[in-house]
Amino acid sequence: MCNYHSQSQKSTGKKSYAKNVKDDSINWRPISGLTGLEEALTLEKFVNRELISLAGQAKFHRDPHAKLVIEAEMEHQVDIIKEIADLVTRLRQYPPNKDYELGEYLLDRELSK
């Protein structure tokens, strides 16, 4: 998308502005797989909200081509969110103190294949 954006910017003469987005809510301590996936899900949902906002800006500025590209990326983002949400659901099915480590191991093993 970055290369496309550069080419689009050159051809249309429009400028874009990037800002650094830092999520201070993430505490990088040793965490379980479930906590890591929940943090990843939160981050992916944030990215999706920003893409929705960006698509709105493209529509406001009457840039249908940019809107189309952003919407295609949003579809991909929704697939990622569903995939992570499914993994979170599967890990939550294991009791925290009893079989959680086994569930995390089995899920990790399945994902490595």
The answer to whether the annotation marks 104 as part of a ligand binding site is no
Residue 5 pLDDT more than 60? no
Structural fold of domain 31-103+107-111? Ferritin (1.20.1260)
| Four-point Cα dihedral 79, 80, 86, 92, nearest 10 | -160
| Mean pLDDT score, 30-43 | 88
Supply the pTM of this predicted model: 0.70
Q: Is 93 annotated as a binding residue?
A: no
pLDDT of 31 over the 90 cut:
no
